């Protein structure tokens, strides 16, 4: 019984040691795993790189505006960064319709960044329509992931 208990405690200690090492690497302790300021990784980790839209809409939702406000502030801090805003749509609708919808979504996100003080010359837009889905299912959860605009550092 004591041997099993000792084995279990040793296993837990080993797992805790591995967990701490992984955490140190992720937070940049020892120089490994650090995120360089002004990179895509920095944007994703500290701000968020995407906003989501309602079905068949290119209107920025109220709950998504703070993401774009944070992106604009981040771009103000990193004044040399240029971005491309990618517009996406779910699989419903024709290819042509979804390309146009994705472009409207990218433009709406771009306009919000410009309204937040970013020079429009630093932002390009592109639409992928339904060609680059984030969610691969044919259900509402997947479609909701695909109705998005993604800001990508160039």
**pLDDT tens digits for range 21-56:** 333 334 444 445 789 999 999 999 999 999 999 999
Report CA-CA distances (Å) from 7 to 2, 3, 17, 21.
8, 6, 15, 21
3-state secondary structure of 115: helix
Q: What's the gap between Cα 54 and its chain centre?
A: 17
Helix axes 95-115, 65-77, angle to 10 degrees: 60
pTM: predicted TM-score of the whole model, two decimal places: 0.79
Residue range 115-132: average pLDDT?
98
47 close to 69: Cβ distance less than 8 angstroms: no
Position with higher pLDDT, 134 vs 21: 134
146 close to 134: Cβ distance less than 8 angstroms: yes
pLDDT, residue 32, reads: 55
- CATH dotted code for 2-153: 3.30.1330.60
Residue range 68-81: average pLDDT?
98
Position with higher pLDDT, 6 vs 152: 152
């Amino acid at each position: 019984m004591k041997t099993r208990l000792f084995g279990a405690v040793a296993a837990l200690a080993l797992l805790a040691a591995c967990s701490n090492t992984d955490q140190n690497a992720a937070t940049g302790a020892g120089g490994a795993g650090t995120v360089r300021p002004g990179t895509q990784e920095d944007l994703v980790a500290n701000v968020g790189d995407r906003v989501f839209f309602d079905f068949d809409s290119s209107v920025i939702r109220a709950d998504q505006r703070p993401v774009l406000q944070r992106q604009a502030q981040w771009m103000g801090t990193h004044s040399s960064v240029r971005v491309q805003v990618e517009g996406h749509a779910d699989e419903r609708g024709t290819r042509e319709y979804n390309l146009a919808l994705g472009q409207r979504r990218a433009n709406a996100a771009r306009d919000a960044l410009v309204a937040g003080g970013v020079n429009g010359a630093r932002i390009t837009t592109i639409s992928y329509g339904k060609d680059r889905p984030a969610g691969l299912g044919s259900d509402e959860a997947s479609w909701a992931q695909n109705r998005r605009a993604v800001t990508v550092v160039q």
